[in-house]
Amino acid sequence: MKKFLIGHCPVDSGQILLIDPCYLDKWKDNDFDPNDFSSDLSYNSACHETTKNKHLGGTIGGHDGQGQGVAISSGCGDGYYPVYATYEEACGKRIKSITIKFF
């Protein structure tokens, strides 16, 4: 397996969202509301997920763990973080994992 730098991801809210682009049309553009605990696909939901459970993050959009994205706290605030892909040579450089280095 080989690891390559494939790009950088900017973070301006101390959190990042992993999502399939086909769900972006369902994105609800809103602000953080400490009293709104809905589990929709929104900035508010991402903020709630990244501030509970010791700032680990969690699923947003959808119910019963079948969400449309995963919100993750960078742990270090804003920045420009490198993204690495680990490839498996046996499958024609198929991506085996992605790592975002929050340092």
User: Tens of pLDDT along 5-44?
Assistant: 999 999 999 999 999 999 999 999 999 999 999 889 999 9
Give the mean pLDDT of 51-71.
Answer: 83
What pLDDT does 62 receive?
77
Beta-carbon neighbour count of residue 98 at 10 Å? 11
Determine the residue type at 50.
T
Domain region containing 25: 2-100
pLDDT band of residue 65 (cuts 50, 70, 90) is low
**How many structural domains compose the chain?**
1
Q: What is the mean pLDDT of residues 87-92?
A: 77
